[in-house]
A and B are shown apart, each in its own frame.
Chain A
Amino acid sequence: MDPSPLLLILALPFIASLAVVLLPSASREPPTWVAGATMLACLACSLALYPSVGAGEVVRYTISWIPALGLDMTLRMDGFAWVFVTMVTGIGFLVVMYTRYYISAEDSVRRFYQLFLAFTGSMLGVVLSGNLVLLVVFWEMTSIFSFLLIGYWHHSQGARDGARMALTVTGVGGLALLGGVLIIGHIVGSYDLDSVLASGDAIRSHALYVPALLLVLLGALTKSAQFPFHFWLPNAMAAPTPVSAFLHSATMVKAGVFLMARLWPVLSGTQEWFVILGLAGMASLVLGAYLAMFQHDLKGLLAYSTISHLGLITLLLSLGSPLGAVAAIFHMLNHATFKASLFMAAGIIDHETGTRDLRKLSGLFRYMPITGTLAMVASAAMAGVPLLNGFLSKEMFFAEAVETHADSWVDIIAPYAAVLGSALAVTYSLRLIHSIFLGAPPESFPREPHEPPFWMRFPVMFLVVACLVVGIMPAQTIGPFLHVAVASALGSATPQYSLAIWHGFNIPLAMSVIALVAGALLYLGAANYLECAERAPIFGRIQGQRVFERVTVAISWRWARMMQETFGTNRLQAQMRLIAVVAIAAGAAPLLLSGLGLRQARPIQLDLAFAGLWIIGAICAVAAAYLAKFHRLAALALLGGTGLATCTTFFWLSAPDLAATQLVVEIVTTVLILLGLRWLPKRSEAFATEEGWLSRLRRSRDLAIAVAAGLGMAVMSYAVMTRDAPDSISRFFVEKAYSEGGGRNIVNVILVDFRGFDTLGEITVLGIVAITVFALLRRFRPAPDSIELPEQQRIQRSYDDADPDRDAGTTKMEYLFVPAVIMQWMFPVVIVLAAYLFVRGHDAPGGGFAAGVAMAAGFILQYMAAGTRWVEDRLRILPVVWIGGGLLIAALTGLVSVLLGDPFLTSYFRYAEVPLIGKVPLASAALFDLGVFSLVVGATVLMLIAIAHQSIRRLRAARLEEERQKWN
């Protein structure tokens, strides 16, 4: 048979929802028509499928989606699903028809139908899913769209809160359901509904059955607003009435019980299932009915009665008996019909009178007799009056309740709860009818009420007629469909049952009579009390949403903040400490666990001079650490001391390149920091606050960390140094450096050839940093307290002012005059030195980097000697161009080889003809090195200038200050 209608049923609503988006935003009629047509089309499709479904076969349609995860687009329609689809689409159509007259002029019809249609699609998806994961997908989508629908009037606080609560509760449920489905999938080995339904015993007997059950039920109960998660439904009444009529009677809340019935063959029949569902159902049944009595808001009453009726269904499913399941499914349909009609009637009343408050409403019957009649019949069905559909399912319910299914107190009190629940149902139904339609009309309504237009009333009428017809001749009308549904839902467990109205005098009948009479009496007795009671005694005090709000605020706000502050920090010191500790731990763990094999593989030679060198170096380091807080300059000098010791070590231990580079870098770094020092705030021991024992403790902890880190590094390096070197890849370089790399200085050849790629990255870093520094300092704002001239310059200035025949700044010019001149003469020398370093690089220690830094040092010397202005007046250096150019040269040098078909950066020394020993090597690597040189010069100079420039800016600021003082 052709399964395409199945796909259509699912796809049409979504397509329509998207189509509505394309309509102009102000349009009112077109969206309505689209929606109505969609509903009808879906209905038609499902009717078209009835022949095959009615014949008991299961229609499937599968689109492969993500087979690797066992997740496929499997649609599956059996009788049960068919009944639901028909109900959803049918009532959906009626609601659309109703909405056309309900929705007011200022509301956006387009947005309403976008959401409405999308929701319908998701709901149909839930019903039709043949794969549990797919079911979860649509399940969550219903939550999302119902959130948006409840929040349709989001300008009102109530709507926002209601929507938020609904999504939070159902969202939690949905995630729980996902967990449950994952477990079921793990047990069964498939998410496909058929294979899951086939392996009920495996699931029930599995160790993970209880968690799976709990999670699935959490999902179902939250969705169906069952105790203790019922509180979101009354708050969801802030939604437009059509939404309530559709979501909160026929579809959304039914999804929960639908799921329970779906998985009934798999999960039911155990003690856990019975107790959990039994309690939840019973509590919802009684509590819902009880609270419904006390509602003054018409929709609130209906909401609580919905909770109560769904509780009835849950209770029926909990019993685990096939007949119970039949009754449950039957009641799902009945409840949908009468509750939808009642919601719509409520909407009409609200629409006509402008209020939903039972205390304000009265005597409406004479204004709208037809609507009144319909509403009365529907309420009667809700109360379970004979000859109406509500009566039949309730009879079945009673019959099941008296049966014993499991010897537990839940089972014993079930019948009493059942009677009590339906008695209260009678009471609130009576209250609804009486206080709205009967009695004397009040002197004034907010609006003068009259009958609504026929087509607004038609949906109500249709449904009420359905209630009657089903109630009078069930077997002929609903019988076959119900049977198909039951047979497919229960499978082999399908029992014998009769849909007759009259089963003779028996206990269930007695129970109904008791319930009706008791309910009526209760209303007669308590009518006035109910009318004026502020809220229900005892249970009324427990405000579900209040509790909810408190909990959410507590968890998602206070606790979260607390946890965040406890386990997190924004302070740099703490983070550094953590990093240090974690790193030490990481390094120490392997060494401690599997022991550090300290092997004396190499002879230890001790060199006193070397030791002496490092005694000084170490003292410098420690002293720097000690003085860095209050004596910055001293600390800097000491840092330099350590640096020099490092240089010497490199030189000593046969690494001349390192020594040279370290030295030049040393110089530049020191100059940089010197330039920076001037902007830091003054700090002297005088202001040092006396720290308490706490900070002393903190310091000793830091000291411990520092010692541990030092120890770790020392041990590791010693351990490695005293081992034989592994057969390292360096041998290759030593062998190839000259023969193929064309350089005798292996280190340099590695840098510009073997590992030139590293160098490329390295110089890029330098360039990036330089331009970053430049960009940063351009926005530099010195702190107010370091604006004024340095003390020394102020002294000079005052000296000038004191002496009449000296004008300001002369002393400054003369200051360090001789050294300045010498430094200026040094410039050419420096350039030559740089050139020399560069040229010899490939064969002897030196190279582009050292040369570049030396060159930059030459520039900075000029700055120091003659001041920023003087230098920049005389030589234009465009550092940024040097940087960009350098990078380009380096990269393009590498690219040449690509043009010649070799990999990037291939060096071409070996193809040069000239014998090169002792001469300038014409290796392309040298060109690369030129790029390095250019970049280094550019970058270093740029950084130095950027900092040096600040003094000018500062001067400008100071000068402005002086101007101001001069003028006033």
Chain B
Amino acid sequence: MDWSRHLLVVPVLLPLLTGSLLLLIGEVRHTLKALISLASCVLLLVAACALLRLAAGLPETGGALTASYAVADWPAPFAIVLVVDRLSAMMLVVTGILALASLIFSMARWHSAAPHFHTLFQFLLMGLGGAFLTGDLFNLFVFFEVTLAASYGLLLYGSGTFRVRSGLHYIAINLAASLLFLIGVALIYGVAGTLNMADLAVRLPAVVEADKPLLYAGAAILGVAFLVKAGMWPLCFWLPSAYMAAAAPVAALFVILTKVGAYSLLRIGLLVFGPAAGEAAGFGGTVLLWGGMATIAFATFGILASQTLGTLAGYSVLISSGTLLAAIGIGERAVISGALFYLVSSTFSTAAFFMLIELVERAREPAADLLAVTMEAYGDESEEEEEREDEQVGVIMPGALAVLGLSFGVIAILLAGLPPLSGFIAKFAMLTGMLNPAGLGDTAAVPGRIWGLVALVILSGLAALIAMMRSGIRIFWAPMELIVPRVLVVEVAPIVALLTLCLMLVVQGGAVVAYTDAAARALHTPATYIQSVLGVSPPAGSAP
């Protein structure tokens, strides 16, 4: 029989099974757990790539641009349906790569610092997979919750005062956001009588005029929930400290979390309130644009004022989400395409940065092995003690300092959006899109707010450059002799791999931009999506 149709459920099912299986394995058997977890991550990535090929509409996959999968075999608008198109496939691949990288990184020491690291890790992946695939509003909520619950666990992972304090904030704020999410979804259901996104898009024009305000109110409240998660000013202050508090591999994986909010806004915004939605078109676009600009501005100051690398990284996450939000606010095809490129590039570079920070800090004062500290301070039972031992395993990196310095430089260039790396291409793609929405040669006058955004994007890069240069000089060029850190190969490899990917994005720029262009175009023509969700009779069939 045809197995490929079940591909859509793999990103949810595989991590779920792995995670629950890991629960049944004895707690001290770290190596076994790590291997299982690793295998599942690799499989996940493979599945994601397969989905990408499916969504890219390559001939050998039957050229399906959007495929849908009705869970539990009930017809589309009623039961939950999973949908994959270029955008979600792309997000899945990015997630897979990120997961693999940070998992490998964590194997050096973090994964054995406290119980159930791998389980939480897998469940986080499950939540992400579901959030990117589902076509149902309430199901989206559920997967948001799965993601968040796992992220709570991972953020608090290893405990410690700072972590718990910022964890408390993180949890409280996200609980509030989840309540808003529920209110929004409920309102939408109460007025439109459906939970399926595509169905909602179809029903929207038919809603009674007098009911529309309520529907919009629901959508707006839903939007606020997404904005909290995406980190838009003034709802974003929790973000830097939370990310700074998280353990390095966790923080690296968290980079994708803000993107989930952006993804949902993009998906629902363009599907339901997109160009097709008549007078509801561009619902809240202005808010996103201005809010995004405010976010960039705030984060720019934050990045300049940051004293530690952790804050620097946290605020660069904010800059990238601000940029994304503003781009989504504009909503032009060309801009969205650039923004998607930017999403990939910034995700990789920031994640690499988070991992690098731990190693660099280690280089600065070798005593401050974060883990050791937490162990001394908060580990009371004996089992942690013996967990410390397998910290010695692994090959020690030769010439570590040079590699760290080089990676730091590369990341600085990426964050600042300087040539020749992908950061520049991404920014250039967005900027040229903003100035020439209809492609080069479009001589239509550019409104002032767009100029403002262009300036902000460029200036934020400058700020990143200055900040990175300041700390880079302080760390690597400081006169006193640096202690060569004990860095394991498994810790450096993922960083280098992610940065290499950024380089590939440049070399393969043409192909990548072509893909993001197609993805953006698909987002602007929701008909295909709706058709493949509602139109096709065989439940798991894929639209031609």
Contacts and interface: CB of A to CB of B under 8 A. Distances in A.
Given A186-B446, A765-B149, A140 B473 contact: no
A67 B214 contact: no
A214 interface: no
Nearest to A898: B6
Contact of B432 (A137, A185, A761, A898): A185
Nearest to B473: A160
Contact of B298 (A552, A555, A568, A775): A568
A456 interface: no
A316 to B, nearest CB: 30
Interface in A541-590: 552, 555-557, 559-561, 563-564, 567-570, 572, 574-576, 578-580, 582-583, 586-590
A705 interface: no
Contacts of A151: 473, 477
A884 B20 CA distance: 5
Contacts of A157: 479
A568 B78 contact: no
B305 A564 contact: yes
A576 B23 contact: no
A716 B214 contact: yes
Nearest to A191: B440
B342 interface: no
Contacts of B169: 572, 575
A65 B510 contact: yes
Interface stretch (A167-175, A351-359, A695-703): A167-175
A865 interface: no
Interface in B67-88: 69-75, 77-80
A103 interface: no
B289 interface: no
Most buried by B among A555, A771, A881: A771
Given A144-B413, A167-B469, A761-B145, A175 B462 contact: yes
Contacts of B443: 186-187, 189
Contact of A597 (B1, B130, B211, B510): B211
Interface in B137-169: 138-139, 142-143, 145-146, 149-150, 152-153, 156-157, 159, 168-169
Contacts of A154: 473, 476-477
A863 interface: no
A301 B188 CA distance: 74
Given A579-B224, A772-B153, A884-B20, A903 B146 contact: no
B466 A168 contact: yes
Interface in B156-191: 156-157, 159, 168-169, 172-173, 176-177, 180, 183, 187, 189-191
Nearest to A561: B305
B172 A572 contact: yes
Contacts of B465: 167-168, 171
Given A168-B469, A591-B213, A881-B24, A70 B440 contact: yes
Contact of B210 (A557, A576, A599, A754): A599
B379 interface: yes
B304 A556 contact: yes
B420 A137 contact: yes
A239 to B, nearest CB: 14
Contacts of B424: 137, 140
Contacts of A64: 510
B381 interface: yes
Interface string B498-515: 000000000001100110
A589 B17 contact: no
B20 A757 contact: no
A586 B223 contact: yes
A764 B146 contact: yes
B458 A175 contact: yes
Contact of A757 (B139, B238, B441, B514): B139
Contacts of B517: 68
A769 interface: yes
Identify which of A154, A713, A903 gathers the most chain B CB atoms within 10 Å of its CB.
A903
A907 interface: yes
Interface in B409-431: 413, 416, 418-420, 424-425, 428-429, 431
B139 A716 contact: no
B347 interface: no
Nearest to B509: A66
B120 to A, nearest CB: 7
Contact of A556 (B19, B177, B203, B463): B463
Given A575-B238, A586-B220, A904-B71, A67 B440 contact: no
B418 A762 contact: no
A775 B150 CA distance: 13
Given A178-B458, A725-B193, A754-B74, A903 B539 contact: yes
Contacts of B153: 768-769, 771-772, 775
B310 interface: no
Given A189-B440, A578-B235, A903 B431 contact: no
Nearest to B150: A768
B442 to A, nearest CB: 8
A166 to B, nearest CB: 11
Interface string A512-550: 000000000000000000000000000000000000000
B23 A140 contact: no
Interface residues of B, number: 136
B168 A887 contact: no
A735 to B, nearest CB: 10
Interface centre among A137, A580, A755, A907 (most CB of B within 10 A): A755
Contacts of B173: 572, 575-576, 579
A720 B214 contact: yes
A586 B221 contact: yes
B419 A66 contact: no
Contact of B217 (A187, A716, A901): A716
A594 B212 CA distance: 9
Given A164-B473, A189-B443, A888-B17, A903 B73 contact: yes
Interface in A885-903: 885-888, 891-892, 894-895, 897-898, 901-903
A63 to B, nearest CB: 10
Contact of A907 (B72, B176, B301): B72
B173 to A, nearest CB: 6
Interface string A580-622: 1011001111110111110100000000000000000000000
A762 B176 contact: no
Nearest to A72: B510
Given A590-B213, A729-B194, 8 more contacts: A185-B440, A572-B173, A716-B187, A726-B211, A732-B78, A755-B79, A757-B139, A904-B69
The 10 closest A-B pairs by CB, nearest first: A884-B23, A597-B210, A189-B441, A726-B193, A887-B20, A728-B193, A772-B153, A590-B216, A560-B304, A137-B419
10 contacts: A138-B419, A141-B419, A160-B473, A579-B176, A758-B80, A764-B149, A772-B120, A774-B115, A887-B19, A905-B73
Interface of B: 1, 5-6, 9, 13, 16-17, 19-24, 69-75, 77-80, 114-116, 119-120, 123, 126-127, 130, 138-139, 142-143, 145-146, 149-150, 152-153, 156-157, 159, 168-169, 172-173, 176-177, 180, 183, 187, 189-196, 199, 203, 207, 209-214, 216-217, 220-221, 223-224, 227-228, 233-235, 237-238, 241, 298, 301-302, 304-305, 378-381, 413, 416, 418-420, 424-425, 428-429, 431-432, 435-436, 440-443, 446, 454-455, 458-459, 461-463, 465-467, 469-470, 473, 476-477, 479, 509-510, 513-514, 517, 539-540
Interface of A: 64-71, 133, 136-138, 140-141, 144, 147, 151, 154-157, 160, 163-164, 167-168, 171-172, 174-175, 178-179, 182-183, 185-187, 189-191, 552, 555-557, 559-561, 563-564, 567-570, 572, 574-576, 578-580, 582-583, 586-591, 593-597, 599, 713, 716, 719-720, 723, 725-730, 732-733, 736, 753-758, 760-762, 764-765, 767-769, 771-772, 774-776, 778-779, 781, 880-881, 883-888, 891-892, 894-895, 897-898, 901-907
